[in-house]
Structure 1
Amino acid sequence: MTTLIAKANQDTTLVDLGEVIIKENRIEIPFNKISRNVSIISRKDIETTPARSLQEVLSFTPGVDVRQRGVSGVQGDVGIRGGGFEQTLMLINGIKMTDPQTGHHIMNIPVPLQAIQRVEVMKGPASRIYGQNAYAGAINIVTMLPETRGLNIQAYGGDFGMKGISAVSSLPVDLPFGKYKQTLSFSHDASSGHWYNSDYKVSNVFYEGGLELNDRNELRTMIGYTDRSFGANGFYTNSFPDQWESIQTFLASLSHTYNYENLYIQSRAYWRRNTDEFRLRRNEPAFFTNNHVTDVLALEFNGRYESKLGTSGFGVEGRQEQIESSNLGNRERSFLGVFAEHRFEFWDDFDFRAGVYSNYYNEYGWKHFPGAELGYQISNSSRVYTNYGASYRIPSFNDLYYEDPSNFSNPDLVPEEAQSFEVGYKFNRRGLRFELVYFNRYTENLIDWSRAPSDIVPNPNRWTPRNISEVTFQGIETGLQYALNLGSENFKLKEVSLSYNYIDANLNQAAGVESRTSLTALRHQAIAGVQSEFFTNLELNVKARYIERMSLDPYFLMDIRIDYNRLKTFGVFAEASNVTNAEYVEAGFVQMPDRWFRAGISINLQQ
């Protein structure tokens, strides 16, 4: 019998990103041969970032706009390249977390932060790869099934009555017909809140198992559940400070993979259920309460075939979405999607990839979304690329039907469509990574929630979703990351990073008109980071951000994390957020907290 023993971890994330394979649902491509802007958040990045949630980790990613309502990501909206939260697709190991009720729920991720191996952020249209909801970008959470037994435990506490605990365990088993790898993890976070009616409780449970039947066939399953309840003061309106919400999300999937010689085929089925109770007055449910139950059932079939002519990808998906709601009514809709693409290399240093995603929805019939990518490898360390893609988003049930004392519905909304273009340059050599990108996204029928101005505070006018006829987003993204490893045993400068992103949009609005999403997108974003090490076991990570959004006041934030013995059996850490004591609002009407602290311990046991 094998037992767990105290043993130092290895920082296995210190690898060349060129060795990382981006595993899309069909074609797999090495990171350094991707002809688009993709950011990789490694396990080490997750461990050393001053953050207690995935939302907070993503907020340090160039080009990603995370708008949190309160601390620790109890609810946060994620946008990419000026896109709104409805235009970003979240995935877990390629499984879509689409929520037809509202994009506010796509970050209800049932995976504890400590169980995430890495995060792949694909910027720009990804409809050709993942389907209709990958309008402005996609974020794929990747977990791992270890070959050996292990246990990681973390516990922390901090300001605002904050407390949390998480555990991630791996327990592979040798069976007569194959090796069964499995992980079980859970987390619980709670706080009394940083201002009136902002308390929260968030619990996650996640199980993943994989069985290698033989060298060609593998089965995998995932089961996840998250339960989050929170005071929602200022989340959606400032007219009702006693808002409250409780959300439960369940995810289950089963997949089979066949991989032999030149042929790869994966089939999978999944079910996602989201239950949402929302009250305008927390202790008076009879005043106004919404109850929603949303189900998404899907089947997918994906494959690829490698030949002398290159790699061909193909796939088909079917998805059923339905909701039972006290406000939106009982509704359902079905989708069919077909994928086809091909990638080949020519003239030694060029590669070309093109494909199309065709989607059928009975309200709008067939829609086709082509895309193409062209790359040229100047040298082993330099690459230039360009790409084009069409994308599409069908309005959510919330967009179409939701009404309350602060919102009107608009069942006449039509889908958003966009044409996107990108050109970029990458450099990766000896620990130095640099990327410069220009992008342009032309959008028709952009959906935005707006309301008329008023001299009365709070504004009594209702929010209404509308289609804006034509909008062009364009911008520049640039980033530099350098692994220095300069210094002595007593002090070593490990890494520095710097990025700047600029977005321009030709959005026109009447004077005083308020916008919830599009007209408050990022304009300027600058992120800087410094990682250093003292006496081998003490690590310091400093992160700073300057954020300026359209029509909103800019702000500057600095966060700090200190780790002692991070890779050893027993470690401690401390974090400070908003060290500069900035006053700022990220989403809704939630005034974010001043300077705040938390600290905790970690225990690592491995076979």
Structure 2
Amino acid sequence: MSNLLSRPRRAHAAAVLAVSSVLAASAAAQQAPADDSTALEEISVTANRVEGPAAAIGSAVSSISGEELKRRQIRVVSDVLRELPGVAVNRTGPLGALTQVRIRGSEGNQTLVIVDGIRMNDPGTSAEFDFANLLNLEVERVDVLRGPQSALYGSDAVGGVINITTRKGEPGPTRFRANIEGGSFGALTGTASVSGGTQAYDYLIAGQGYRTSGISTAKRFDAFAPTSSLDRDGYQSGTGLAKVSVRPNELLEFTGVARYTDFKADRDGFGAASDGSPFAASVDTRDTEKGKQFYGRAQMTATLLDGAWGHVAGLSYTNSDRRSFDGDGAKTFATVGEMTRFDYQTNYRFATEAGLPASHVVTFGADHTRDAVDSFTQFPSQRAPTVKQHIDNAGLVGQYQLGLFDSLFVTGSIRHDFNDRFEDDTTSRLASAYTFQRSKTKIRASYGTGLKNPTTFELFGFADNFVSNENLTPERAQGWDVGFDQPFWNDRVVLDATYFQQRVKDLISSEFVPAKGAGQPVNLAGKSKIDGVELGLTVRPFADVSVRAAYTFTDGEDPNGDTLVRRPRHIGSVNVNYVFLDGRANANLGVVYNGRQKDNRFDAETFERAPVSLKAYTLVNMAASYKVTENAEVYGRIENLFDKQYEEVFTYNTPGRAAYGGVKVSF
């Protein structure tokens, strides 16, 4: 659901690309080979739901490898998303607090998140995925596909898709990895994994524990309470991951993956503060939240006709159980969101030589999803204290990809959805890409339509400050983009640029209803308009130096012409990595810029909404590691080096400078 504010008069542009341009210019004078250790294979599945070369992708996609995550010492996956084009991240306080990710100005629940083939969006809340509890446990690759993708993925993929893949076991002896780390705010984390396999099977079993005493979620306002003391809000979580694949022969593979997370987080409330402030804010309380999350998938893959005909059939199940308690331990709110999904996809590849030589890939898919919610509130008002509802949706997908001369690729997709509550709907997508062989310039363009169904909670749920609306209709979107990818100097410099435009109709927004004393979701009349530019730059001037930079300009407004909240117009980042001492040592410098953005402020008595502006901020992070032996490594990092004070959400606190160090071993 969208929160709406007025358009800002002006915003400050990020300077990160200027720095990157200087580095790129210096690369032109170098003749060293590129550093392949951080390069991703030119293979992508996310963009077209079928494996193929990067040359066949007409959509805008950004990827980052697990090796890069390790070198940057990323502990929370959402932190690396801040450095990719088109992505904005907002966290309501310290680590462990609600973390929303938006792509191209779309809402958080218009971003589909997939981990190891499992759709992670939680139907028990707002049907978005909360990144708060997704730590970097054996992540192998992160892909971000931007633009409406409902023709391929159905509801939730209006803004784009984030696809995360974790590591598989490799053929060879059993391998053990472990690390332990501690640092600021009483943080302590440990990770261990065991993996192995043969040509017939592979396995990975991993676990991770994390705890921190944290900081106060509520922000102190000295103007109203200069002597107030705020308690820290701690967080702890444990995650287990298991992946097993069995290949009885070269044609067949069975795969199972399961992820379980248990967490507990101290929370601060939201409302009228006792310090005399005129607006509602995050209030220092003793509230807590506990949760258990399970995500699992079983999959069968069959490859026939010498690899030309592929089949994938899978069953996914997710269960997210969240419970909130007040300072006295009384349960105030609880919700269980369940998703059960059956899916099947087949791909057939063939080539034709007569007339015009061409390659062809035909794809057909079918799926059925049930989203269910079981919620409880201590404040039922006009509704029953418990709600149990579900929505069923079935979809059929067809896609055809044509390739000519290994240079021109055109892909068309169409999907038809059958929903037991809403009218049937059809979405489509068309993408094309052409690569000039001489200059290696790739030009690409795509157009797609998107669909976002109202969530079970929006339709039937209830909370102390929220009233559902059973008359909601789906949000519908259409968007297009055009861009290019250009390598220079033997691929040691790669520049990509994209212009995008997106329109969303019937956007669901929360409106305050005085008679009910709570907010209620409604469909806004008219269209929301979002336009922008995405730039990416990768530079490898030497074999041991790599630079990645990104910049995004986003101009988004609701049907009334007001600026969409928590969508900064300017976002930029630069990351520089240096490997030295014959590969034993690594140093990393990261800079993230988040421009001025709008948020909502609520009156302390009437809860009437008004716009407020959050200042721009720049965060600098440093990390270094050293391999003492082939099996042992020491490392450390500093986050928010210059102790910047900033807000990502109005009245919610953020961490200051922090230092961490640890030891990693492998056998």
**What TM-score does the superposition give when structure 2 sets the normalisation length?**
0.80
Structure 2 counterparts to residues 64-463 of structure 1, below 5 A: 64-103=87-126, 106-107=129-130, 113-145=136-168, 146-148=170-172, 149-172=174-197, 179-195=200-216, 196-233=231-268, 238=281, 240-242=283-285, 243-260=287-304, 261=306, 262-279=308-325, 281-285=326-330, 289-308=332-351, 310-327=360-377, 329-346=387-404, 349-379=407-437, 381-428=440-487, 429-449=490-510, 462-463=518-519
Aligned-partner Cα distance in 2 for 1:295–1:73: 22
Contact 2:311 2:344 in 1 (8 A): yes
Residues 117-161 of structure 1, C-alpha deviations (whole Å, 9 max, x = no match):
111111111212222111101111112322232121111111111
Deviations 1:61-113 (A, max 9, x none): 22211212344455411111111210111112222113112247624698752
In structure 1, what is the equivalent of residue 551 of structure 2?
500
Does the 8 Å contact 1:225/1:249 carry over to 2?
Answer: yes
Find the residue that maps to 1:583 and give its secondary structure: coil
Residues 450, 168 of structure 1: alpha-carbon distance in 2 compared, 3 angstrom cutoff:
farther
Kept after mapping to 1: 8 A contact 2:95/2:235:
no
Tell me which residue corresponds to 1:7.
Answer: none
Q: Which residue number in structure 1 is paired with residue 220 of structure 2?
A: none
Distance 2:391 2:474 in 1: 14
Relative to 1, partners in 2 of residues 1:144 and 1:484: Cα closer, same or farther, differing over 3 Å?
A: same
One-letter amino acid matched to 1:285: A
* Contact kept in structure 1, 2:46 and 2:163, CA below 8 Å: no
Shift of 1:205: 0.2
Choose 535-544 or 183-192, whichever is displaced more: 535-544
Runs (5+) with no aligned partner, structure 1: 1-10, 454-459, 487-491
Write the letter of the residue equivalent to 1:443: V
Query: Aligned in 2, Cα 1:304/1:37: closer, same or farther, shift over 3 Å?
Result: same
**Stretches of structure 2 lacking an aligned partner (at least 5 in a row):** 1-33, 217-230, 272-279, 352-358, 378-385, 599-613
Give the superposition deviation at 1:232: 2.0
Within 2, Cα distance between the matches of 1:596 and 1:164?
15
**How far does residue 452 in structure 1 lie from its aligned partner after superposition?**
9.5
Name which structure has the greater RCO, CA cutoff 8 Å, separation 6+: 2
Q: Secondary structure at the match of 1:369?
A: strand
Which whole-Å deviations, capped at 9, do the CAs of 1:506-561 have from their partners, x for residues lacking one? 336699xxx9xx42223110111111234332211111111125323211111111
1:325, distance to aligned residue in structure 2 (A): 1.3
Whether the aligned pair in 1 keeps the contact of 2:94 and 2:653 (CA below 8 Å) is no
CA–CA separation in structure 2 for the residues paired with 1:448 and 1:73? 26
Contact 2:596 2:616 in 1 (8 A): yes
Is the 2:176–2:193 contact (alpha carbons within 8 Å) kept by the matching residues of 1? yes
> Is 1:543 aligned to 2:590, yes or no?
yes
Moved more, 34-43 or 146-155: 146-155
Distance 1:88 1:235, change over 3 A: farther
CA distance in structure 2 between the partners assigned to 1:479 and 1:128 by the alignment:
26
Structure 1 SS opposite 2:236: strand
Change (3 A) 1:567 1:224: farther
Q: Which amino acid aligns with 2:119?
A: K
Q: Which amino acid aligns with 1:315?
A: G
Local SS of the residue matching 2:45: strand
Is 1:13–1:42's contact at 8 Å kept on the other side of the alignment?
no
**Distance (whole Å) between structure 2 residues aligned to residue 408 and residue 555 of structure 1:** 35
Q: 1:487-517: CA deviations, max 9, x gaps?
A: xxxxx6x112222110012336699xxx9xx
Q: Distance in 2 between matches of 1:450 and 1:510?
A: 17
- One-letter code aligned to 2:180: A
Q: CA deviation at 1:408?
A: 3.5
Q: Which moved further from structure 2: 182-191 or 84-93?
A: 84-93
Matched position secondary structure for 1:282? coil
Amino acid corresponding to residue 208 of structure 1 in structure 2: K
Cα distance in 2 between the residues matched to 1:588 and 1:334: 37
Listed as ranges, the matches of 1:450-489 within 5 Å are: 462-469=518-525, 470-485=527-542
The whole-number CA distance in structure 2 between the counterparts of 1:139 and 1:555 is: 25
CA contact (8 A) 1:22 1:31 kept: no
Structure 1 position 13, deviation (Å): 7.0
Q: Does the C-alpha gap of structure 1 residues 32 and 114 become closer, same or farther in structure 2, counting only changes over 3 Å?
A: farther
Give the CA deviation at 1:448: 2.7
SS at match of 1:584: coil
* Residue 588 of structure 1, CA deviation: 5.9
Q: Does 1:598 align with 2:648?
A: no
Deviates more, 1:82-91 or 1:239-248: 239-248
Deviation at 1:263, TM superposition (A): 0.4
Shifted more, 329-338 versus 136-145: the winner is: 136-145
Count residues in correspondence. Answer: 571
1:191 is matched by which residue type in structure 2? T
| Structure of larger gyration radius | 2
Distance 1:372 1:420 in 2: 11
Within 1, Cα distance between the matches of 2:88 and 2:299?
A: 32
AA paired with 1:189?
Y
2: CA distance, partners of 1:302 / 1:221 = 17
Per mean C-alpha deviation after superposition, the further-off stretch among 532-541 and 16-25 is 16-25
Q: Quick check: 2:407–2:434 contact (8 Å CA) kept in 1?
A: yes
TM-score (norm 1): 0.88
Judged with a 3 Å threshold, the aligned counterparts in structure 2 of structure 1 residues 549 and 137 are, in CA distance, closer, same or farther, namely farther
Greater mean deviation of Cα atoms: 68-77 or 472-481: 68-77
Q: 1:315 to 1:480 in 2, by over 3 A?
A: same
How far apart are 1:584 and its partner, in Å? Answer: 1.6
Residue 29 of structure 1 corresponds to: 52
SS at match of 2:185: coil
Q: Secondary structure at the match of 1:495?
A: strand
Distance 1:171 1:534, change over 3 A: closer
Q: Secondary structure at the match of 2:371?
A: strand
* Closer/same/farther in 2, CA of residues 398 and 586 from structure 1, 3 Å limit: farther
- Deviation readout 1:3-42 (Å, 9 max, x if unpaired): xxxxxxxx99726435333356842122343111111110
**CA shift in 2, pair 1:186/1:498, >3 Å:** same
